[in-house]
Amino acid sequence: MGVDPLLKQVQGVWETLAAVPVSFPSAGSLNVVTSPASQVAPRSWVGIVVLSDSAIVTAPTDRAAQVLRRVLAGMPTSSLTSPQVVAAVLPVQEVLGPATLGYVSRDGFRPVPAGRSVERLAPGHQDLTALVKSVPSGDSGESGMDEITSAAFVVRKGADVVAAAGFQAWPAAVAHLCVLTAPGERGRGLARQVASAAVAQALADGLLPQWRARPMASRHVARALGFRELGSQLSLRPDSEPLRRER
């Protein structure tokens, strides 16, 4: 079987984010490394990324890495980003995810045909901020719209911005997509429209668009634009007691 160029590129992204030398191993395997500066998860947390049937895990300390190698050994790779499965072998204090990781190449991108007018705003524009403040905090946090580094691509209803998309510039030339639609305007294709404009800009800038999502509705939008779901990510803060027992 030939090498999947998109998968290979994405593996390189997460290997870079690990911040220490590591590579995705053969199918069905995982590599655990110590990396206090890892960008795979929040600082001092454990980060797990599964791509296809291969995984890398970053640990904040050598002791944590030793524990992880022991407790994760022999587990099916597909279960490594399941909070329930991991918590059964490693008590955790807090979890982020799991999130599905989607990516699209220039050739695979399916842009939305021109419809409603999409306007371009500077990041931090007051009308964009108004949309972020108008939605529940869980929605705004999930979207990441207040952290975009690109322009915002928006659709208005009257004077109000009701849908917006942009991206955060990540290491390894990644454009991390951020999309937000006002609750009362969802289900009308607006997310696809603004996200299409943001993806087109990312590709024009020579970046790799990344769609990291948990809600199924968000995943449907990504799939409609041609994103391929290549893996998943889980971040966790383990209970310190099992780590002390490894001394």
Q: What is the pLDDT of residues 23-32, one digit of tens each?
A: 999 888 999 9
List C-alpha distances in Å: 1 to 4, 58, 154: 9, 29, 42
Helix and strand numbers (H, E) in the chain are 8, 10
Give the distance, in angstroms, between the CA of residue 202 and the centroid of all CA atoms in the same chain. 16
Mean pLDDT, rounded, for 138-158: 90
pLDDT in tens, 45-73: 999 999 999 999 999 999 999 999 999 98
The pLDDT assigned to 115 comes to: 67
pLDDT band at 79 (very low <50, low <70, confident <90, very high): very high
The pLDDT assigned to 244 comes to: 46
The pLDDT assigned to 214 comes to: 83
Mean pLDDT, rounded, for 124-135: 92
- Rounded CA gap, 159 and 126, in Å? 12
| 119-226: CATH architecture | 3-Layer(aba) Sandwich (3.40)
The pLDDT assigned to 246 comes to: 47
pLDDT in tens, 160-181: 999 999 999 999 999 999 999 9
Handedness of CA 213, 215, 219, 221 (dihedral sign): negative
Q: Omega of the bond prior to 98 within 30 degrees of 0, cis?
A: yes
- For 139, the 3-state DSSP assignment is helix
* 217's tokens: 């509705």
CATH 3.40.630.30 positions along the chain are 119-226
Whole-model pTM: value is 0.91
Tracing tokens 């889980």 back to the chain, one arrives at 234
